[in-house]
Amino acid sequence: MTKPKILISEDEVIIAEDIAACLEDLGYETCAIDTGEATLDIIRETRPDLVLLDINLRGDSDGVEIGSRIKQEFNIPFIYLTAYADKSTIDRAKKTEPDGFLVKPFDEKSLRSTIEIALYKHGHNHKINGNGSAGHTEPPLKEQEVSQDYIFVKVKHRIIKVMYSDILWVEAYDNYSFLVTADQKYLVSSTLKDMEQKLPPHNFVRVHRSYIANLDKVEALEENAVVFSKGEIPIGKSYKKILMSRFNIL
C-alpha cells in the first residue's frame, strides 16, 4: 500500500528532523521539510497527502496565514503544531478550520492518531497496525527508556544510549530539552521539569529555571555560573543556596 506523503513546515530544523524520523517509524513518507518560506510552492510540487504546519512560523507569513491559503487552494488536510500561542493567534487559527492541533512536544501515539483521523476525514484509507507502523509487527521503541546508568535518546533513525556520566547539563528549549555532553547535544521531547524527574537526583540538580547540572562534571563554581570542561551555565538566585549545600567547600 502506498504510504501517505506528509510535508513538514517547521522552521526549527532539529525539531523538523525529529518529526520526520517519527513519521518514518510510523509508516509514513516525508515528502519534504520546509521552513515555511515556500510551503505553498512545495505543496504544488510534491502534492502531499497532509501538511504538518508550525503555527508560529517566522517570516512574512506565519503558519495561520499559510493554513488559510492551504484551505483555500488545496483539498488536503493540515495539522497545526504549536509549543505556545497567544489567544489571538489561536482564535485566528480556529477560523482556518485545521484538521487538528498538536502541542509540542508530542509523542508518537498522539502524532499517529491525529494524522490518521485527519487522513480518514479526507478520504484516505491508509491503516497502520496497533504497534504504530505499517506492516511492522514489533512495537516502536520509546523515545526514552530510563535505566540505572543511562538513558536512550532517539536521534533521527537511531536509538542512542547516553550514559548519565557523560551528560554535563540539561538545557530547556521551549517544551523540549537538550542533553549536553562533551561531544554532542541531543534534543529530546521532554520538558526540563520532566527531565528533572527522570534523572538520578543524587548528582543532577536544578541550578536555574532553564538548566539542570550534573554535579559530577562540575569543574568550578563562580559567583553566578557553574563551570564545566565544555562551557558554563548560569546559576539562578533561588537555586544557589541548594546548589552550594551539595558541595564540600573548605
**Confidence tier at 84 by pLDDT (50, 70, 90):** confident
Q: What is the mean pLDDT of residues 197-226?
A: 94
Residue 193 lies in a domain: yes
Residue 201 lies in a domain: yes
**17 & 86 share domain:** yes
Structural domain range at position 181? 166-245
More confident residue, 131 or 18: 18
CA distance 151 to 153: 6
**23 & 78 share domain:** yes
Write down the pLDDT at residue 6.
94
Domain boundary among 89, 106, 121: 121
**106 & 175 share domain:** no
Q: What is the mean pLDDT of residues 83-105?
A: 84
More confident residue, 130 or 22: 22
Q: What is the pLDDT of residues 60-76, one digit of tens each?
A: 778 899 999 999 888 89
Q: C-alpha grid cell for residue 136?
A: 511492522
Residue 58 lies in a domain: yes
**66 & 11 share domain:** yes
| SS3 state of residue 128 | coil
Domain boundary among 91, 121, 151: 121
Identify the CATH number of the domain in which residue 183 sits: 2.40.50.1020
Please tell me which of 101-105, 114-118, 126-130, 204-208 the model is most confident about, judged by mean pLDDT.
204-208
In the predicted model, is pLDDT for residue 170 greater than 60? Answer: yes
**39 & 108 share domain:** yes
Q: What is the mean pLDDT of residues 131-142?
A: 41
Write down the pLDDT at residue 85.
65
More confident residue, 238 or 13: 238
**116 & 10 share domain:** yes
**98 & 205 share domain:** no
Q: Tell me which amino acid residue 21 is.
A: A
Q: Is 8 exposed, middle or buried (0-12, 13-18, 19+ CB in 10 A)?
A: buried
Identify the CATH number of the domain in which residue 77 sits: 3.40.50.2300
Q: Which residues pair with 163 in a beta bridge?
A: 150
In the predicted model, is pLDDT for residue 121 greater than 70? Answer: yes
Q: Which strands make up the sheet holding 220-221, listed edge to edge?
A: 220-221, 225-227, 232-234
**90 & 181 share domain:** no
Do residues 75 and 102 lie in contact, with contact meaning Cβ atoms separated by under 8 Å?
no
**87 & 174 share domain:** no
In the predicted model, is pLDDT for residue 116 greater than 60? Answer: yes
